Amino acid sequence: MKFITLSFLIFFSISFFSQNLIITGKVVDENKETMPGVNIKVEGIDGGATTDFDGRYSISVQNQQNILVFSFIGYKSQSVSVNDETNIDIQLKPSSENLDEVVVVGYGTSRVKELTGATVQVKGESIERLNIPRMDQALQGQVSGVTISTNSGSPGGTSNIRIRGLSTSGNNNPLILVDGVVYDAQGLNALNPGDIESINVLKDATAGIYGVRAANGVIIIETKKGKKGSKPKFEVGSYYGMQSTTKKLNLLNAGEYALIKNEMFIRGGGQPIFNNTDLKVGSNWQDSIFQDAPVQSFNIGVTGGGKNSSYSIGGNYFSQDGIVGGKKSNFERYNARVNLVNSLSKKLTLTSVFLYTHEQRSVLAENGIGSVLYNTINAFPTRNIHSPDGNYEYLDEVSDIINPVAQIENTYNRSLTNKLVGKQEFEVKILDNLSFTNRLSYNYAIVDGKTFNPLAWYGSGKYANSALNANLDPVMVFNGFQYNQNSDTYDSVLVERGASVSEQRATYLDLNYESYLNYNLNINDHNIKSTLGASVFRRKGDVLNGTGFNIPNNSIDYADISASQSPGQFNQNNTGSYEFEERLLSAFLRGEYSYKFKYIFSGVIRRDGSSKFGPNSRYGYFPSFSGAWIVSEESFLNFKPITFLKLRTSYGISGNDQIANFAYRALLNGEGVYVFDDIITAGVAIGTAANPDLKWETTRQLNIGVDLQLFNSFDITANYFIKNTNDLLFSPNVSALIGSYGPGGYPPIVNAGNVSNKGFEFEFGYATNPNNPIGVNVNLNFTYLKNEVTSVPDGIDFIPGASFGVGGNTATRFEAGFPIGYFFGYQTNGIYQNQTQIDNSNIIQDGAQVGDLIFVDQDGDGKINFNDNSDKSNLGSPLPKFMFGTVLGFNLYGFDISANLYAAVGQKIIRNYERQQPYANQLNYVLDRWTVDNQSNEVPIYTTASNRNGVFSDFFVENGSFLRVRNIQIGYILPKDFCKKFKTNYVRFYLAANNLFTFTKYMGYDPDIGGGALNGGVDNGFYPQARTIMGGINIKF
Amino acid sequence: MKKIFIVFISVIFSLVIITSCKKFLELDPPYTQDAENYFQNEQEYFRALTGAYDLLQGMFVSYWIGDIASDNTIAGGESVTDTEGLHQIDNMTHGAVNNELRNLMRWNYCGISRCNFILEPKENEINFASKATILAEAKFLRAFYYFELVKVFGDMPLIINKRIGNDEVLSSIRNPASEVYDQIEKDLNEAIVILSYKSESSHSGIKGRVDRGAAQALLGKVYLYQNEWSNADFVFSDLINSGNYTLASDYTTMFSKSNENNSETVFDVEYSDGEGGGYNCLICLEGNLTPGYQGIRAYEGAVYGDGNSYNLPTQDLFSSFEYKDPRRDVTCLNLDNFGIKGVINFDLRAFAQFLLPLIALISPLWANNLKGCAKCHLGLVLVENL
């Protein structure tokens, strides 16, 4: 008490004797707009001031030597000495250093400087300017460690995002959050890239604050927000483009086809099928399937803010027709975005986000055997597309190839999605350094689908026929018994099965309530940050579907279940429904300590409980630790070129809860039948055994990284990581004690197995100031990834993936010691050139003839075994080893040129679109087949007789490496004065091309093939991504 | 300051409440019936019980293993590699992995787990009149399956009234045979108290369902196997004196289909020919596969179809019957007397009787293999043991 009074008196006396200066002024930004909320401190003295709504401040200093420090997030801090001014106006410039930027990191924010984990920030602009409708496809090649592969090039087609490799045979999707709302990867088509402000990819264990959802990495997307105290800024943009296919395959023309086929039949001991092989070109099926298709987009938006609020509102229309099928394979989307931030009082802030999407999509049969492109590749060039009477030609000789043009015409389907995603977030500033945030977010989607199956006749014996004959008469089907009084028998009742329509509605609702505290404490050189919170999440879905038959007139005009004319009985069995629900309950704590912002330590612990896990494993704990040392702040590092150097490391445990719902429960799908009273009596028995211990897949990840900045301009980042995932889901052999080995019994689903991913990432960036009239920006990233399945449980040798050909053997596998989905088949070693070679060979290959492929005897037993796997081996992996991405840009007095390149090297692709049937068409590499005159050592003979050349071997495995010019753009920004004449601030015209060039050895349509974890890299006639040439304009006013 | 403190505490409090709400995560799959939400009514109890009875039909593997291991029969079959497991047992060369022994263990533990499924404590126990009987039958079945296991393997893990996962398997021990027997006796004693004799009106009257007599007979047998003579005597006397059973008068017709459920039958496993089946899942069959498997290979004649010549009786067994024992010819079928033409290759029999011993002098191994083949192809083996 005494001490307090004494210091009080001293303080008073000092202040009485010192000049109490009050300094005032105004702070504006680079556009001369006033800046509210700017912090002003007097160096060395506690306390400070902030600018008000008009950007004005007032602060008291002690003397003229005091230095005022002005700082605001995202802007370069300025220090100004008071001297003899009493009014100091300041203009703050945005920080060209990325290091001061603030990024969202899961329940909080952090400056890039202080990040201890491997994260990459991508500006929304880098995504938007590519004019690629799907945000993940646009991300390809821009972030190291992130592999994006396309599942289909058709409009609305999906992609796979893999962060640091494939971890599991199950679900590899990362957690995607849009403004904090969980967004499922399947639904990314609904997100408008133009709404995105920034994307933050959390690649390593620091994503652990998301616990059991973080094992595959986390992508945090923030949408555009307004700014307080700024006038409304309007933005309008539009582009229009024409798409065409990047490639057409080199198929045989009619003359070549006749030549090859005649030879095939003769070799097989038959008669030639063409008397005249001088048939010239014949039909070009590819030309009749591919077309030029338009793509267009129009968007409008306004951002701004008042005294206590800010808003960002936008709308977008996008439409894309398919290069195969035109309107029958198209995608159309309407987006609306409303983002409002309201300061209800000095301490309360309410953020509301509404993202609405309406999308429509139609698809053709694609990416499989029986798809339109599969039929196009195999259709015979000797047949016309139309027959003389105007119908479509049948392709009689092969039962599973149908006329693809007819197939497109008979395809009618439409899927309609309405989606509303948003949040209401309420933040309370309890104290200056303690804030309490509550957030309720939702993701509501209604997905409707309708498919019309008309009566179609593609020729006799075709699997795809739904009609009885060429007259399109309906098929008669059994529909129960009817008592016949005259004959005293029960007669079968047959009814017509005509055209049918299937309809489906699926409704999904995610609700998430999160509540957390953020605390920040600065004591001298120590800084402590902490986050404590809880989250409740519920996801519900239900699906209802039905099929109606006998649609009148076989016409699309009546395609609705309400128009069905078939007897009630027939319809009743064709309805179905499905419901599911899952819940997640979590709590998390993060603590960060830094000393002088030079040594930074961070720790996270999260506890998750999920309804998906067995009762013995309901809750999991996920800890992670990370640290960083900003070496450039050390006094001993005085090397001028190094303007920033940070060493960091992280290690943590996270989980993947995307396993099947209720997999831990025992199902009553077993067989329990006994005989009572001599009657076979059906009882009930457990089939799939329960596993009360079932839990999530666990990932342990170590990351070591370096962030380096040279000469204040060159940003370099390097990471080395080791990622191990175990507890994958399997159904291996188990002990008899579990009791699952009875009639109809299945072993329980258990956690076992281990996958390892190791890799190295490198990034380089350089940019001159964008305001300079001449400038350049370069961005390079490089990733090396090694994937291996390190163990599988006892009793499982491998998990089979895709099969080769029609009903062929398994070609891809999940097996210990190899990458996930590696190719497994026969290795070849040239071709038998003559009979002596066959006779003298010390390896017996049954049925080998001159011109056949020579297979390698892997197990050394002296013969090639075609009945089992003993002579098969590893033929390559569908996963790329190296990935490069580059963004290059130049701007010169208003003109700008930029290019995005992406390359993936080391992956292989299985050529699986050749229908190995005598009459099916072939690629023209077969012209190089072995003959007496052309003793090829690559391409074997073709014959209708049976031979082994068609088994799955490396003959069908191709190098899938490619380099693709993703985007090239030339733009021009009108000079500012010219714009002002039209009351605009910014006008840019541009011409751009997507997928302009692809350099690859791969013979198929598109080497950028996705696929699931187990069956990736198999080309069944992949719908290629389009080459688009477009022009557009962006105006801001 | 106080205000902040209050806010803080209430925030922490609500966080704790939210995250410890266990019930929130205990979700049932909507509109689905699975093992975790079954047993809502009497019908469901009976259906689960039917599933537990199913594994009785797998008993044949116990008989085969028992007979073939002894000198009563040989494995038989098409060749020495036909159902190799039985041949290994025949020659006492079986190792840790033997298909038939594994099937015995798997099928009986499946039966036990189906009984445990009925007997394990339920979240919502319902009650109905016949519930005690159903539970008693489940206990009988569990005792029956454990008896099969303890006879063949001795010490075995006891899993009672619960289903286990992989973690528990790893930590389970082989309970000593005496503990297994104790559990069997406990189950049977509890069943005996509840069950009625099938002649009584309080029994369901359904053919095939366990009754008091079955439980007592099994219990007595269990005592015999433990050499507990006085206990066995006690139970058997009660059973015999109940007056429900008498010995059949004619042994030769006792096992024929027309005499099923005769006065001597205390308990039998039920089969039906109504379903048919294949070789791919023997435990799934509703018919009795043993007549077919043990029938005469390549037989063409009246009454019967052909079989697979499994489990063939030996000379030893045949000779052990006393002179004119009426049971002998019904137990061992003499193919000569059965009047088959051309099945027995007389030369082959002579070969077996005279040439084999000579071959054995040169190569015992070769002779052994030939003996096996000869055994396989003969309906009745008159091969001397070498």
At B237, phi and psi to the nearest 5? -60, -45
- Quote the tokens at residue B47: 């259906």
At B97, phi and psi to the nearest 5? -110, 105
- Within 8 A of B172 by CB-CB distance, chain A residues are 737
pLDDT tens track for A460-475: 888 888 898 888 898 8
- Dihedral in degrees, nearest 10, Cα atoms A723, A728, A733, A739: 140
Q: Which of A618, A625, A619, A591 is nearest to A607 (CA)?
A: A619
A133-137, A354-358, A795-799, B109-113: which range is least confident on average? A795-799
Amino acid at the residue A81: S
Pick A481 or A467 by higher pLDDT: A467
> A897: pLDDT confidence band, cut at 50, 70 and 90?
very high
**What's the gap between Cα B366 and its chain centre?**
36
CA distance linking residue B123 with residue B342, whole number of Å: 66
pLDDT at B134: 96
Judge: B207–A618 Cβ closer than 8 Å, yes or no.
no
Q: Where are the alpha helices (DSSP H) in A290-417?
A: 372-378, 404-409
pLDDT at A743 over 70: yes
Residue with tokens 């202080």: A114
CA distance linking residue A200 with residue A217, whole number of Å: 11
CA distance linking residue A993 with residue A1028, whole number of Å: 5
Tell me which chain A residue has its CA closest to the CA of residue B31: A579
> B307: pLDDT confidence band, cut at 50, 70 and 90?
confident
Q: Which of A507, A580, A498, A496 is nearest to A547 (CA)?
A: A498
- Quote the tokens at residue A203: 């690649």
Amino acid at the residue A575: T
**For residue A460, what is the DSSP state?**
T
Q: Which of B41, B114, B101 is nearest to B68 (CA)?
A: B101
pLDDT tens track for A585-616: 999 999 999 998 889 999 999 999 999 998 88
Return the residue in B31, B54, B144 with the most chain A beta carbons within 10 A, the one to mutate for interface testing: B54
CA distance linking residue B193 with residue B203, whole number of Å: 13
Judge: B22–A684 Cβ closer than 8 Å, yes or no.
no
Judge: A673–B52 Cβ closer than 8 Å, yes or no.
no
Dihedral sign computed on CA atoms, order B21, B22, B23, B24: positive
pLDDT at B366 over 70: no
CA distance linking residue B101 with residue B98, whole number of Å: 5
CA distance linking residue B90 with residue A417, whole number of Å: 68
- Quote the tokens at residue B332: 């061992």
The enclosing H or E element of A1025 equals none
Contact status of A735 with chain B (Cβ, < 8 Å): yes
Distances in Å between the Cα of A450 and the Cα atoms of A571, A1004, B349, B355 are 16, 32, 75, 80
Which of 238-277 (B) contact A at CB < 8 A? 270-272, 274-275
Q: Which of B108, B144, B152, B142 is nearest to B217 (CA)?
A: B144
pLDDT at B342 over 50: no
Q: Are A159 and A137 in contact (CB under 8 A)?
A: yes
Q: Which of A426, A435, A395, A440 is nearest to A521 (CA)?
A: A435
Tell me which chain B residue has its CA closest to the CA of residue A607: B19
pLDDT at A562 over 90: no
Judge: A587–B15 Cβ closer than 8 Å, yes or no.
yes
Contact status of B109 with chain A (Cβ, < 8 Å): yes
- Within 8 A of A670 by CB-CB distance, chain B residues are 51
pLDDT at A11: 45
A486, with CB counted inside 10 A (0-12, 13-18, 19+), is exposed
A541-545, A641-645, A756-760: which range is least confident on average? A641-645
pLDDT tens track for A314-326: 999 999 999 999 9
pLDDT at B376 over 60: no
Contact status of A347 with chain B (Cβ, < 8 Å): no
pLDDT at A994 over 50: yes
pLDDT at B145: 97
CA distance linking residue B377 with residue B386, whole number of Å: 18
pLDDT at B11 over 70: no
**For residue A488, what is the DSSP state?**
T
pLDDT at A838 over 80: yes
Judge: A580–B30 Cβ closer than 8 Å, yes or no.
yes
Judge: A616–B102 Cβ closer than 8 Å, yes or no.
no
Which residue of B35, B49, B51 is in closest CB contact with A665?
B35
CA distance linking residue A665 with residue A46, whole number of Å: 61
The pLDDT of B358-386, averaged and rounded, is 50
Q: Chain A closest CA to B178's CA: distance in Å?
A: 19
Q: Chain B closest CA to A217's CA: distance in Å?
A: 24
Which residue of A586, A676, A738 is in closest CB contact with B164?
A738
The pLDDT of A197-214, averaged and rounded, is 91
- Within 8 A of A534 by CB-CB distance, chain B residues are 15, 18-19
pLDDT at A97: 58
CA distance linking residue A527 with residue A530, whole number of Å: 10
pLDDT at A766: 92
pLDDT at B194 over 60: yes
Distances in Å between the Cα of B179 and the Cα atoms of A646, B62, B156 are 66, 22, 9
Judge: B46–A683 Cβ closer than 8 Å, yes or no.
yes
The pLDDT of B1-5, averaged and rounded, is 63
pLDDT averaged over chain A? Answer: 88
Q: Are A645 and A717 in contact (CB under 8 A)?
A: no
Amino acid at the residue A935: Q
Give strand pairing partners of A350. Answer: A342, A426
Tell me which chain A residue has its CA closest to the CA of residue B57: A674
**What's the gap between Cα A375 and its chain centre?**
28
Judge: A680–B26 Cβ closer than 8 Å, yes or no.
no
In a 13 Å sphere around the CA of A507, the CA atoms on its Cβ side amount to 3
- Quote the tokens at residue A937: 């050592």
What number of helices (H) and strands (E) belong to chain A?
10, 52
pLDDT at B371: 56
> A101: pLDDT confidence band, cut at 50, 70 and 90?
confident
Judge: A579–B30 Cβ closer than 8 Å, yes or no.
yes
At A817, phi and psi to the nearest 5? 95, 0
CA distance linking residue A604 with residue B69, whole number of Å: 63
What's the start-to-end Cα distance of chain B, in Å?
101
pLDDT at B130: 92
pLDDT at B255 over 90: no
Give strand pairing partners of A724. Answer: A700, A756
A928-932, A971-975, A1006-1010, B297-301: which range is least confident on average? B297-301
The pLDDT of A537-545, averaged and rounded, is 94
pLDDT at A948: 87
pLDDT at A715 over 70: yes
Tell me which chain B residue has its CA closest to the CA of residue A577: B31
**Does the global pTM surpass 0.95?**
no
> A928: pLDDT confidence band, cut at 50, 70 and 90?
very high
> A983: pLDDT confidence band, cut at 50, 70 and 90?
confident
Contact status of B45 with chain A (Cβ, < 8 Å): no
Contact status of B97 with chain A (Cβ, < 8 Å): no
Judge: B48–A685 Cβ closer than 8 Å, yes or no.
yes
Q: Which of A806, A762, A815 is nearest to A143 (CA)?
A: A762
pLDDT at B380: 35
Q: Are A792 and A752 in contact (CB under 8 A)?
A: yes
What number of helices (H) and strands (E) belong to chain B?
17, 2
A353-367, A940-954, B207-221: which range is least confident on average? A940-954
The pLDDT of A838-856, averaged and rounded, is 90
- Sequence-separated (6 or more) residues with CB below 8 Å from residue A644: A99, A113, A630, A632, A707, A708, A709
Q: Which of B289, B290, B283 is nearest to B54 (CA)?
A: B283
pLDDT at A965 over 90: yes
